[in-house]
């Protein structure tokens, strides 16, 4: 539900109709990346705070400065907040805006992947490591070479290779990288440098990771998202085109690339045969939630599949004060996903 409609919402009624409730209420959390490590669920969200920044379309009010890790023994159990796992002050290259992270594991080491604005105001992606899934994490002294934009998601393939997916429009700066170099031209418009409506939409990126998961093993490649006719989705197709919140999971031999459409507030997915794509648009996973943003992850737990997402119901619609939730998703026989409505009629 876009922010302009929140003044008309009865939040007591909305929360009764919600298909799930916030997993934690002691802090505001968003952008949940969920994984199962050693039989336990770990969620790596953003930590929303009210920093007093004015609302704008570049996301300046999303002034997060640290990460907490949330764990659950099972999908029905109480969620536990393990406290600060990494703070921006402990990341030498980062200045501000610790936005949506992800995590993964290899050979007993846990890796936290996160975007932040560097001291030059450009978003980069960093890595921090720990011997525990709950941290604390120690950041690498520099961002990943060749990284840019936001919303890293790291997928482990069955052959043991790892791939990072990333990118975000508007405040995520992806549109500023169209030439391969950062466009530093001064503008307050979030839609500056975007393609025209009848041109192909900007694409997210993927890069295979090095064996130590600390760098890209290759130059990032764009991920093609196609319609049923094999054509790239257009920039004006804003109910289907990629905006931010990349995620990849595998189901029944197929790769599912899911993402947020941003200003139209849907979580959508596309299906392909390779971690690199191309991916053909498949439909919507989640209809709009209360609050401007929508950001998710998909995780298998005990042979069922779950969507971890957020909304702003706990904060009564405050866009940058969100709460992580979880709901089961189901697949049809043909592999398509049944769309969830976050609130019952």
pLDDT in tens, 66-118: 999 999 999 999 999 999 999 999 999 999 999 999 999 999 999 999 999 99
pLDDT at 2: 46
Q: Is residue 344 included in any domain, yes or no? A: no
CB atoms within 10 A of CB 10: 9
Residue 177 lies in a domain: yes
C-alpha span between 133 and 160 (Å, rounded): 19
Residue 122 CB neighbours (<10 A): 16
Q: Evaluate whether 321 touches 312 at the Cβ level (below 8 Å).
A: yes
Residue 343 domain flag: no
The rounded mean pLDDT for the chain is: 95
Q: Which two tokens mark 158?
A: 């069955």
Query: If pLDDT is split at 50, 70 and 90, which confidence band does 298 have?
Result: very high
What integer pLDDT is reported at residue 63 of this predicted model? 80
Task: Give 256-270 pLDDT, tens digit per residue.
Answer: 999 999 999 999 999
Percentage of the chain modeled with pLDDT above 70: 94
- Average of per-residue pLDDT across 297-302: 98
Active site residue 244: yes
pTM, two decimals, is 0.96
The torsion of the CA quartet 85, 139, 152, 340, rounded to 10 degrees, works out to -10
Separation of first and last alpha carbons in the chain: 14
More confident residue, 28 or 50: 28
Confidence of residue 56 (pLDDT cuts 50, 70, 90): low
Q: Residue 305: how many CB atoms within 10 A of its CB?
A: 16
The residue segments making up the domain with residue 202 are: 3-329
- In sequence order, the 6+-apart residues with CB closer than 8 A to the CB of 229 are none
* Confidence tier at 292 by pLDDT (50, 70, 90): confident
**What confidence category does residue 22 fall into, taking pLDDT thresholds of 50, 70 and 90?**
very high
Can you give the pLDDT at residue 340? Answer: 98
pLDDT for 177: 98
Q: Is 334 within the bounds of a domain?
A: no
345 lies in some domain: no
Is 337 inside any structural domain?
Answer: no
| Active-site entry in 151, 224, 244, 311 | 244
- The CATH number of the domain holding residue 126 is 2.115.10.20
- What confidence score (pLDDT) does residue 188 get? 84
In this structure, the number of other CB atoms found within 10 A of the CB of residue 11 comes to 16
- Tokens 């990284």 correspond to what residue? 147
Overall number of domains in the chain: 1
pLDDT score of 201: 98
* Residue in 31, 48, 224, 237 annotated catalytic: 31
339 occurs within a structural domain: no
Q: Which residue is listed with tokens 């919140």? A: 245
How many CB atoms within 10 Å of residue 214? 15
* 190 assigned to some structural domain: yes
CA–CA distance, 301 with 235 (Å, rounded to integer): 35
**Taking the alpha carbons of 317, 319, 324, 328 in that order, is the dihedral positive or negative?**
positive
Which residue matches tokens 């507030």?
265
The predicted pLDDT at position 50 comes to 81
- Provide the pLDDT for residue 53: 60
Q: Is 78 a catalytic residue?
A: no
């Amino acid at each position: 539900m876009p922010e302009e409609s929140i003044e008309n919402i009865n939040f007591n009624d909305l929360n009764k109709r919600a298909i799930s409730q916030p997993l934690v209420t002691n802090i505001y959390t968003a952008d949940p990346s969920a994984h199962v490590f050693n039989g336990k669920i770990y969620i790596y969200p953003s930590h929303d705070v009210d920093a007093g920044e004015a609302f704008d379309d570049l996301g300046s009010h999303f002034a997060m400065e640290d990460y907490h890790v949330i764990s659950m023994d099972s999908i029905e159990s109480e969620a536990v907040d393990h406290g600060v796992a990494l703070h921006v002050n402990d990341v030498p290259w980062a200045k501000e805006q610790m936005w949506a992270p992800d995590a993964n594991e290899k050979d007993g080491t846990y890796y936290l992947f996160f975007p932040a604005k560097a001291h030059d105001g450009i978003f980069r992606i960093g890595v921090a490591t720990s011997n525990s899934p709950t941290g604390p994490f120690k950041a690498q002294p520099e961002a990943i070479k060749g990284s840019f934009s936001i919303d890293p998601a790291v997928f482990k393939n069955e052959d043991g290779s790892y791939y990072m997916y990333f990118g975000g429009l508007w405040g995520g700066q992806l549109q500023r990288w169209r030439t391969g170099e950062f466009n530093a031209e001064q503008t307050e418009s979030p839609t500056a440098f975007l393609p025209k409506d009848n041109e192909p939409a900007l694409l997210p990126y993927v890069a295979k990771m090095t064996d130590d998961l600390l760098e890209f093993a290759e130059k990032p490649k764009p991920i093609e998202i196609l319609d049923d006719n094999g054509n790239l989705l257009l920039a004006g197709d804003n109910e289907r085109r990629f905006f931010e919140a990349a995620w990849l999971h595998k189901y029944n031999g197929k790769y599912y690339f899911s993402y947020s459409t941003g200003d139209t507030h849907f979580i959508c997915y596309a299906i392909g045969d390779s971690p690199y794509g191309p991916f053909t648009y498949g439909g919507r996973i989640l209809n709009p939630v209360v609050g401007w943003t929508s950001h998710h992850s998909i995780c298998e737990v005990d042979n069922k599949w779950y969507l971890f997402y957020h909304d702003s119901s706990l904060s009564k619609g405050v866009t940058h004060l969100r709460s992580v939730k979880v709901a089961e998703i189901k697949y049809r026989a043909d592999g398509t996903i049944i769309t969830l409505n976050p609130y019952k009629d």
